[in-house]
Amino acid sequence: MSEAASTAVAPGGTRRRLAGLSLATLPVLALLLLVVVSLGTGRYPVPLADVFSLLLAKALGLSTAVDATAQTVVLQVRLPRVLGALVVGAGLAAAGATYQGLFRNPLVSPDILGVSAGASLGAVLGIVLTLPAAAIQGLAFAGGLAAVSAVYAVGIAVRRRGASDPVLTLVLAGVAVGALLGAGIALLKVMADPYNQLPAITFWLLGSLASVNPGDLGAILPAMLIGLVPLVLLRWRVNLMSLGDEEARALGVETRVIRPVLVAAATLVTAAAVSVTGVIGWVGLIVPHVARLLVGPDFRRLLPASLLLGAGYLTAVDLLARTVATIEVPLGILTALVGAPFFLWLLATAKRGWA
């Protein structure tokens, strides 16, 4: 191409890059605005200008004229909760997008391999044993990882006996192990103290961010980052694995190695999230669908879109949980009330082949 032609093309390419950059920054700006609104909204309302000036002053190390009560409410009460919603929502959405791509099924969620059931059993056991909060979270995290490990062990044993479809084998093993874990949870609920332990178990199983503190965030962030790194590095391989094992192997992807790595990474993210917040459904199922409708099925774009949408979705739902009624509504109830009708609307209005 001549110098004149390249000069003529350059402005158009620059405009397209700038347009793409502006479109990419809009969701980030919307998420930041949602964070500021969430920090200022609640039983003790704080003007948005005060929230913004307070965050800016703390980030720059400057003094602020915002009164001490508002600072305590924003920085010590609401900020850990909002950060928890951002982290947990992003993690669950990324794990859901990964599972849906790996299992080539739009109805798959992070619960498919029993990670939520295993985490729930660990947390319920900790509550029944009257362990401290940190130990309950540790048991929930370990229970989620142990459940998926058991599912994989069952899947390997079944495949050695002649099963040909590894994806179907894992899904069926997850259903069976999840049912066993659910029976264990029900048994512990029967054995629990009906006045103290049973309400705590019920509230934990419904999911909440009310008790999230900076220590909890510091505990789960390393695990979530470790889980997200393989998803980012192997994002293009997820595209190939969504074609099927034979096609992926023909294109040079070692499915027997890549699939366990991706499943372990997504499970690590999910177990870390559930260990702190309890079971929050529908985030890992609905958000990847919305992201897929916006940016397409390419996992290289789907993953960051799911991260942003998941963070914003759970932040918005948590804001509703704190403000929609005189008492706080558990997140699991609201995500189902919002997610189920939206999913039905998607089924009713989407074109053939949208999944």
> What confidence category does residue 221 fall into, taking pLDDT thresholds of 50, 70 and 90?
very high
Q: What is the pLDDT of residues 70-95, one digit of tens each?
A: 999 999 999 999 999 999 999 999 99
The reported pLDDT for the residue numbered 10 is: 45
The pLDDT of residue 16 is above 70: no
SS3 333: helix
The pLDDT of residue 111 is above 90: no
The reported pLDDT for the residue numbered 6 is: 43
The reported pLDDT for the residue numbered 14 is: 62
Please report, to the nearest 10 degrees, the dihedral formed by the alpha carbons of residues 89, 218, 56, 24 taken in order: -40
Q: Which residues 6+ apart lie within 8 Å of 354 measured at CB?
A: 292, 293, 346
- Count Cα neighbours of 48 within 13 Å in the Cβ-side half-sphere: 7
> What confidence category does residue 215 fall into, taking pLDDT thresholds of 50, 70 and 90?
very high
Amino acid, res. 83: L
Give the mean pLDDT of the chain.
87
- Inter-residue contact 228 to 88 (CB < 8 Å): no
Please report, to the nearest 10 degrees, the dihedral formed by the alpha carbons of residues 47, 72, 205, 335 taken in order: 10
Q: Which residues 6+ apart lie within 8 Å of 123 measured at CB?
A: 136, 137, 139, 140, 143, 204, 275, 278
- This prediction has a pTM of 0.89
Residue span(s) of the chain under CATH 1.10.3470.10 come to 2-109+207-349
> What confidence category does residue 165 fall into, taking pLDDT thresholds of 50, 70 and 90?
confident
Least confident of 6-15, 249-258, 335-344: 6-15
The pLDDT of residue 18 is above 60: no
The pLDDT of residue 306 is above 60: yes
Q: Determine how many CB atoms are found less than 10 A away from the CB of residue 48.
A: 14
The pLDDT of residue 190 is above 90: yes
**Residues 2-109+207-349, CATH architecture:** Orthogonal Bundle (1.10)
What share of the chain in percent tops pLDDT 70?
91
Higher pLDDT, 165 or 189: 189
The pLDDT of residue 19 is above 60: no
> What confidence category does residue 118 fall into, taking pLDDT thresholds of 50, 70 and 90?
very high
SS3 171: helix
Higher pLDDT, 352 or 85: 85
**What mean pLDDT do residues 133-153 have?**
94
Higher pLDDT, 254 or 24: 254
Least confident of 32-36, 169-173, 327-331: 169-173
What share of the chain in percent tops pLDDT 90?
60
CA angle 165–103–333, rounded 5-degree value: 135
